[in-house]
Amino acid sequence: MPLLVMKFGGTSVADLARIENAAKKVQAEVARGYDVIVIVSAMSGETNKMVGFVEGTSKLYDAREYDAVVSSGENVTAGLMALRLQEMGIAARSWQGWQVPINTTSAHSSARFVSIPRDNIDAKFAEGFKVAVVAGFQGVSAEGRVTTLGRGGSDTTAVAFAAAFGAERCDIYTDVDGVYTTDPRITNKARKLDKIAFEEMLELASLGAKVLQTRSVELAMRYKVRLRVLSSFEETDENSGTLVCDEDEIMESKVVSGVAYSRDEAKVTLVRVEDRPGIAAAIFGPLAEAGVNVDMIVQNISEVEVGSSKGATTDMTFSCPTNQVARAQKAMEDAVAAGMITYDGIVVDSDVAKISVVGIGMRSHAGVAATMFKALSKENVNIKVIATSEIKISVLIDRKYMELAVQALHDAFELEKA
Amino acid sequence: MPLLVMKFGGTSVADLARIENAAKKVQAEVARGYDVIVIVSAMSGETNKMVGFVEGTSKLYDAREYDAVVSSGENVTAGLMALRLQEMGIAARSWQGWQVPINTTSAHSSARFVSIPRDNIDAKFAEGFKVAVVAGFQGVSAEGRVTTLGRGGSDTTAVAFAAAFGAERCDIYTDVDGVYTTDPRITNKARKLDKIAFEEMLELASLGAKVLQTRSVELAMRYKVRLRVLSSFEETDENSGTLVCDEDEIMESKVVSGVAYSRDEAKVTLVRVEDRPGIAAAIFGPLAEAGVNVDMIVQNISEVEVGSSKGATTDMTFSCPTNQVARAQKAMEDAVAAGMITYDGIVVDSDVAKISVVGIGMRSHAGVAATMFKALSKENVNIKVIATSEIKISVLIDRKYMELAVQALHDAFELEKA
């Protein structure tokens, strides 16, 4: 029997009516001849409520107890979904993490999968059950304690089950109807993609297009699990949503697939840092330890000031989220105090945004950067920092030009055309 | 290390402040040198919310899914209680039913204990843990499904753990401060009992004094678990509350320990039932099948009507809860239609109450019934039905005299005196 994994997030199971709506989508797949593994999140709001209880009880909480508490919401939804499916005449039962068992590491609140043995669920399918409803986000450690995977963990659970059971596809039902060429709130020319490659999705996800958790896409890419993102709140069929898949499956490969942006970026420049071997480590080591998520890094060419007692110096620029600037400054001051680095000053620009164009086609096409820079130049948008990877070009620009830049790039790469 | 079991009901853990309050009571016992097993209910309201979810999803629900859903609240409280104890510097951890494991039958929603192996929890005590916080009301079946024990199950969990771990005592913290000679709302002479025998508590519990679930008292009696009922909301020490124990432990044994009442009783009389062997079974079989909780039964002496074609007849009277009268009448009519019984009519008196005096001292003291009847007669209260057991005398009277009768009997047996 072909098997599908279907995952419903918190807003898709927020109340009994929505659970029923989700159950109807499961029913449709059973009618198409699939055995189905359904992964459910907690009703939206429930997990936050539990986190509030824990934080109200203990500041430096025991993560094992945190996990035992916050995992409760998924168990509730799993039971209710199984009941609803039974009401529809479908043989279904719920599975809590320890019942499968979903074996994970003991890294509570950020556990990783160790193994998902198929025996128990396969035995039920063999008995004639059509649907296994599994509580997402949770697992069990070797010590027999309940673990959780961290936020967004239910997506990861879904992909892991799809991999373990060799599912034909893993459908992620959420509150958007797919992955778009860019944010439709910024340009109404934004177009829903039928397909997107794992690598592209990864770049888009990490750039702030919060449709799928990065970790779930990584896992899908590693195990070649075909992922589909589609809406819980619309009529859907076999062709709905966006398929995230291996690039081999994408025939019409455009050079650029999407334009992503990240609004809350800051640019930090250390002026005239002593330029010597090991200086980058001396800067970015302390930043990492301070929990600063450094994204782009640019180092200017070295210069030697005439008549200066200092040796060669360089300007070091990096970007990080706006709300981490204070932390970054503190880390740099501490590094100076500890004699690890010297510089003449820190210049912070908190009013920048990051714009990226992403596409696997870039690998084989030249001229993408030129097209991008020309489009921005035409709108008089000044580029402050540039960084590139194999399938992505990112620039930092003044935040006030962000929408304009996204629109200009969307037009320049003709993303409105299928 | 001596061991205590402490159980906190839903109102005692209704919010974070109350959980903290309960945790302080645990802390006090740890300070006195005890290892403690804490049994917790769900925050009050939570279980009802879950039951509402299940009933809103499925009318004839799968009890296995019902149990998976409704057991979630206890897991939350167990985790939060463990966290709160840790905050107080006490080595504690939570245990869900399957982790202990609390092995039960597969009779979902009314499961019975099969075994509670001590190994896992004992190993943690040996490691230096002082408190095991166990989710009440739940267990796990041989099939690995979550089970629940039915309403009030957390009391039963507490007693079962006290028996399994040889606890010195099982303290049930609730919203009353002990067991009284009668309901203090009816007479302010009602006095809190320091001790009461299991048998007496059983009669009082089943008569409507809803301090402890009948099943937990039965279990305590069978395993000679000393139970203490005391208040979560007052300062408590070693002598607080009421101890429910073996009668051997009660030195000052009064003849009567308490006066109980049950307001919503109905008296049903089948007039001139054919008096033949097997007639009682023909009446009470169908009533039991219809789910009527018959309590008292009185059969008048047989009479033969002169000139009647009928044989000997008798009047058969029984009592049942008022809201079951319609069901009882239907069952009797069906039995007539099926040719199982004949009678001349049914007389229902829905305005009666049951008053009982209870005391293990009755076994060795005569004259209790005489004192009771004299006290009621003095107040002109007419007795409609009398039933007796070894340690209890119950009467049905007009409901309007209920408070008066309770007060008169409380005075007659001098229950205000210690």
Domain containing A343 — which CATH number? 3.30.2130.10
- Complex ipTM value: 0.81
Contact A62 B144 (CB under 8 A): no
Instruction: Identify the CA nearest to B67 among candidates B174, B172, B144, B120.
Output: B144
Last residue of a domain, one of B225, B248, B271: B248
For residue A254, is it within any domain? no
Instruction: Based on the fold, state whether residues B179 and B288 are members of the same structural domain.
Output: no
B303 falls in which pLDDT band (50, 70, 90)? confident
- The answer to whether the beta carbons of residues A194 and A27 sit under 8 Å apart is no
Last residue of a domain, one of B204, B228, B248: B248
Instruction: Based on the fold, state whether residues A266 and A240 are members of the same structural domain.
Output: no
User: Percent of chain A having pLDDT more than 70?
Assistant: 97
Q: What's residue A254's pLDDT?
A: 80
Q: What's residue B310's pLDDT?
A: 66
Instruction: Based on the fold, state whether residues A192 and A282 are members of the same structural domain.
Output: no
pLDDT higher than threshold 90 for residue B89 = yes
A138 falls in which pLDDT band (50, 70, 90)? very high
Reading phi first (left if > 0) and then psi (alpha if -120 to 50, else beta), residue A414 is in left
Q: Which helix (H) or strand (E) holds B317?
A: strand B313-321
Instruction: Based on the fold, state whether residues A201 and A274 are members of the same structural domain.
Output: no
The residue ranking higher by pLDDT, A30 or A300, is: A30
For residue B266, is it within any domain? yes
Q: Give the chain A residue whose CA is nearest to the CA of B79.
A: A65
Instruction: Based on the fold, state whether residues A195 and A319 are members of the same structural domain.
Output: no
pLDDT digits (tens, 9 = 90+) for A253-305: 788 999 999 888 999 999 999 888 888 899 999 999 998 989 899 887 777 76
Mean pLDDT of B319-338: 93
Instruction: Based on the fold, state whether residues A226 and A163 are members of the same structural domain.
Output: yes
pLDDT higher than threshold 70 for residue A164 = yes
Which of chain A's residues have a Cβ under 8 Å away from the Cβ of B65? Answer: 79-80, 82-83, 86, 93-94
Which of chain A's residues have a Cβ under 8 Å away from the Cβ of B51? Answer: none
Q: What's residue B252's pLDDT?
A: 67
pLDDT higher than threshold 70 for residue B137 = yes
Mean pLDDT of B105-128: 96
d(CA A113, CA A102): 7
For residue A418, is it within any domain? no
Q: Which helix (H) or strand (E) holds B297?
A: strand B297-299
Which of chain B's residues have a Cβ under 8 Å away from the Cβ of A96? Answer: 68, 146
d(CA B92, CA A375): 62
pLDDT higher than threshold 70 for residue A308 = no
Nearest to A80 among B19, B57, B80 (CB): B57
Q: What's residue B208's pLDDT?
A: 56
Instruction: Based on the fold, state whether residues B197 and B282 are members of the same structural domain.
Output: no
For residue B111, is it within any domain? yes
User: DSSP per residue over B25-77, as a string?
Assistant: HHHHHHHTT-EEEEEE-PPTTHHHHHHHHHHHH-SS--HHHHHHHHTHHHHHH
Q: Give the chain A residue whose CA is nearest to the CA of B62.
A: A83
Q: How far, in Å, are A148, A225, A330 from residue A251 at the CA level?
A: 38, 18, 50
Which of chain B's residues have a Cβ under 8 Å away from the Cβ of A73? Answer: 72
Contact A84 B57 (CB under 8 A): yes
Q: Which helix (H) or strand (E) holds B161?
A: helix B153-164
State the count of interchain CB pairs (< 8 A) between A and B: 107
Mutate to test the interface with B, among A76, A87, A95, A137 (most CBs of B within 10 A): A76
For residue B254, is it within any domain? no
Average pLDDT value over all residues in chain B: 92
Instruction: Based on the fold, state whether residues B243 and B268 are members of the same structural domain.
Output: no
Which of chain A's residues have a Cβ under 8 Å away from the Cβ of B87? Answer: 57-58
Backbone φ and ψ for A295, nearest 5 degrees, come out as: -110, -80
pLDDT digits (tens, 9 = 90+) for A223-236: 999 999 999 999 99
B165 falls in which pLDDT band (50, 70, 90)? very high
- The answer to whether the beta carbons of residues A76 and B50 sit under 8 Å apart is yes
User: Percent of chain B having pLDDT more than 90?
Assistant: 76
Q: What's residue A279's pLDDT?
A: 87
Residue with tokens 């982790």: B99
Instruction: Identify the CA nearest to A129 among candidates A24, A34, A28.
Output: A34
Which of chain B's residues have a Cβ under 8 Å away from the Cβ of A64? Answer: 93
For residue B417, is it within any domain? no
Q: What's residue B307's pLDDT?
A: 66
Q: What's residue B308's pLDDT?
A: 65
B206 falls in which pLDDT band (50, 70, 90)? low
Instruction: Based on the fold, state whether residues A143 and A267 are members of the same structural domain.
Output: no
User: Percent of chain A having pLDDT more than 90?
Assistant: 77
Q: Which CATH number covers residue A43?
A: 3.40.1160.10
Mean pLDDT of A87-98: 97
d(CA B76, CA A53): 9
pLDDT higher than threshold 70 for residue A85 = yes
pLDDT higher than threshold 80 for residue B238 = yes
Domain that holds residue B347: 259-412
Q: Give the chain B residue whose CA is nearest to the CA of A43.
A: B53
Number of domains in chain A: 2
Mean pLDDT of A26-40: 97
Which of chain B's residues have a Cβ under 8 Å away from the Cβ of A19? Answer: 57
For residue B383, is it within any domain? yes
Contact A68 B61 (CB under 8 A): no
Asked if omega into B2 is within 30° of 0 (cis), the reply is no
Instruction: Based on the fold, state whether residues A202 and A272 are members of the same structural domain.
Output: no
Mean pLDDT of B221-232: 95
* Residue ranges of chain A whose CB lies within 8 Å of a chain B CB: 16, 19-20, 50, 53-54, 56-58, 61-62, 64-66, 68-69, 72-73, 75-76, 78-80, 82-84, 86-87, 93-94, 96, 98-99, 144-146
Q: What's residue B3's pLDDT?
A: 97
DSSP state of B192: B
Assessment of whether the complete model's pTM goes beyond 0.90? no
pLDDT digits (tens, 9 = 90+) for A207-220: 655 678 888 999 99
pLDDT digits (tens, 9 = 90+) for B259-279: 999 888 999 999 999 888 888
Q: What's residue A109's pLDDT?
A: 92
Q: How far is B237 from chain A (nearest CA, A)?
A: 25
Contact B53 A16 (CB under 8 A): yes
Residue B134 three-state SS? strand
Instruction: Based on the fold, state whether residues B146 and B276 are members of the same structural domain.
Output: no
Q: How far is B229 from chain A (nearest CA, A)?
A: 27
pLDDT higher than threshold 80 for residue B318 = yes
Contact B86 A62 (CB under 8 A): yes
Range from A80-84, A151-155, A160-164, A403-407 carrying the lowest mean pLDDT: A151-155
Instruction: Identify the CA nearest to A115 among candidates A67, A165, A78.
Output: A165
Last residue of a domain, one of B200, B215, B248: B248
Nearest to B58 among A65, A83, A99 (CB): A83
Which of chain A's residues have a Cβ under 8 Å away from the Cβ of B68? Answer: 75, 78-79, 82, 94, 96
Mean pLDDT of B323-336: 94
Mean pLDDT of B230-246: 92
pLDDT higher than threshold 80 for residue A129 = yes
Range from A33-47, A307-321, A388-402, B154-168 carrying the lowest mean pLDDT: A307-321
Q: What's residue A364's pLDDT?
A: 83
Q: What's residue A208's pLDDT?
A: 56
Which of chain A's residues have a Cβ under 8 Å away from the Cβ of B57? Answer: 16, 19-20, 80, 83-84, 87
pLDDT higher than threshold 90 for residue A22 = yes
Instruction: Based on the fold, state whether residues B219 and B89 are members of the same structural domain.
Output: yes
A250 falls in which pLDDT band (50, 70, 90)? confident
For residue B39, is it within any domain? yes
pLDDT digits (tens, 9 = 90+) for A309-368: 667 888 999 999 999 999 999 999 999 999 999 999 999 999 999 999 999 988 888 889
Question: Count of residues for chain A?
Answer: 418
Q: What's residue A252's pLDDT?
A: 67
d(CA A387, CA A317): 12
Contact B54 A83 (CB under 8 A): yes
Mean pLDDT of A60-79: 95
